[in-house]
A and B are shown apart, each in its own frame.
Chain A
C-alpha cells in the first residue's frame, strides 16, 4: 500500500444514487455480485471527485459482500481508478507511439510551461492533474489529450496552451479536433482540410 491517504474518521461519504447502484447490480446474478465491482467503483469514483478514498472502497466492498482487500486489489490494479486525489480537470496525455511521433512531447512541455505540472502532479489550486497514459485509441487524430471525459485532438504546443488558458479563465471549450476536423479526414501541409467529394 502507498502512503496513508486521508483521515478516514471524519470522512463524509459521497452521495450515490441507490437506483443507479441497483441498476448496475441487476446486470449480474445475485450470487455473483462481485462481478459488479468495476462498474461500481467507476460509478463511485465519478461521484467522489474522480478518486477513491478508502471509505468509498470499503463501501463498495460492503455493497458486494467482498473483503475490503479484494476491492482494494482491483482498485489498485487498474490505472483508471485513482487512489490519490486529483484535480477538477484530469489531463490524460497519450504518449504511445503514434501520438509520440505526432508530438506528444511538445504537448507535455506545453502543459508544463502553462501549469507547471509533470506526470502525476496536480496544480496547487487543485484544478489540473496530468497523467501520461497509454494509447487512447484515437491515433488518427494524434496527438490526443483527454480532459475528464472528452478528447481534444490534433493538438500542438500552441493550441494546447490556448486550450488550457481557456479552461483557466472558465471559457467554453469545444471537444474534438482543435483544427476543425469533423472526423479523421485528411488535411494538407497548410492545414486545409480536404474533404474528398
Chain B
C-alpha cells in the first residue's frame, strides 16, 4: 500500500479572494451624480445607482472615448461564519469592482481607456438586477463623461453571464462584449449544483440536506451546516485517498450498503463528478500522470484510476461548496426547493463517460453498483412554483448582433466549459438561420460571424510529485484549470480584442488575431474544438 502525504491541503477556490482588488471610497447616495476626486492623471468617481448599488469610475486624463464596463463574479449573499473551512469569515460586500484586477485596470488606464464597474445592490445570483444596474451605470457615465464614444462590456463568471446578457439585450448601448468563464443559465447551474450535492449526500453523508432549506435563520443554519458537512466529507476522503489511494475507505457517515463499500470510495467520487458534469482534470491533477518509480502495472492504474479520483476530489471540493451557497441563494429567491431529480436517468447521463473512465469507476460492476445506489435513493423534488419562477430569470438566447469574444478554461470546475459551448452553439444556430433567411431572399452576402470563441487548454501533463512520490498541490494551478484562472496577458489580449471590435464593428480575425492570442499565451482559437456540453442542457 502506498501512502501519500500531501504537501498541503487540496487547493480550493477561496471566497476571500473576492474582496475586490479595488476599494473605491465613494458616496452612496442613490441616483446622485458621481462624485469625482478630480485627480490627475486618473480621476476616480463614485456614487450609487438608483437601486443603491455603489459604483466606481476611473477615467484617465487622456481618455480616448472608450470605456470598459466590468461585471464582477458571484459573491455569496450571506455571511459565512469563521471556522467554516476555506470560506469562513466572509462578509457580504458590494464594493464596486471596475476591472479584473489592479494590474489590468492600470494597463487600460495607461492606454487612455476608462473603466467602470458596480458592486451591485444585491449579491448572490443577481443577473436580472445587475443588468438594470449596469444599463443605468452606462447612462450615468456617458452623462458625466460626454467624450464617451464607445462602451464595451466584460465580466467573469456570473459577471460573464451578465455580460452576455447585456450583449443580447442591449446592443444599442455596447459596441463589443467579452463574457469570460461565464456561468450558465440558472436552471443548468442549479442542476449541476444539485446533482453534485445530492451525489455527495447519497454516497457519503445522508444527513447533508442539500437543498430545500427552511426559511430564514433556520435555513441559513442548515446551509452552513451543509457547508461544514461537505468539507468534512471532502477532508475525510482526502485523508482516505492519501492513506490508501487504491482502495480508500468510505467515510463513517456513509450509509451505502456494505456490498457497495466493496467498491473503492474514490470511484463514488468520480461518479459524482461525472453525473454533475464536473471536469475530470483539476488544478493539480491531470488524470494522466503517475509518480516515477512505480511498477509498470501500478503506473497504468495510477494514471487511469487514481489520478482521476484526485482530480474529482479537488474539483468536487470547489463545486460542492459553491453548490450549497448558490442553492440556498436561489431557493430564497424562488421561494422553495429548486432541484428536482425525480426523472433523472443517471445511467444515461454517464453512458459515454463510463467507458472513458471505466478504470476510475472500478469497471462495469463498480459502475453498476454505484448506479444502483443512485437508483434506489430517494430523489429530490422541486417546488413547482419555485421551479417556474426560476425559469423566469434571464437566460441566454445566444443571439447577439455586436461582436463578442468568449474565453474560458476547458477544465473550469465551477463554470464548466460546456456553458461557453452552449452559447457558441446557440449563436451558430442563430447565424445559420440568418444566412438561410438571406438566401431565401435571394441574397448572397453572408452575415458577419461576430462571435470569437477562445479556449484556455490544459497542459498535456502537469501533476507534480514530491521526491517521495506524493502529489504536490502546493504548485500553482495549471492553465485551463480552476475557476477563471487567467493571466494578466490573457486579460490584456481580451481587452485589446475588445478595443478592436469596438472600433471596427467586427472581431479581429486571421493572422493578426492569431498573433495577438499567441503572444498572450495559452489562448486557442479552434473552430473544430467543441467542449462537452453538460448533459442537463438536454434536460435528462
Do chains A and B interact in one complex?
no
Chain A residues packing against B (C-beta within 8 Å): none
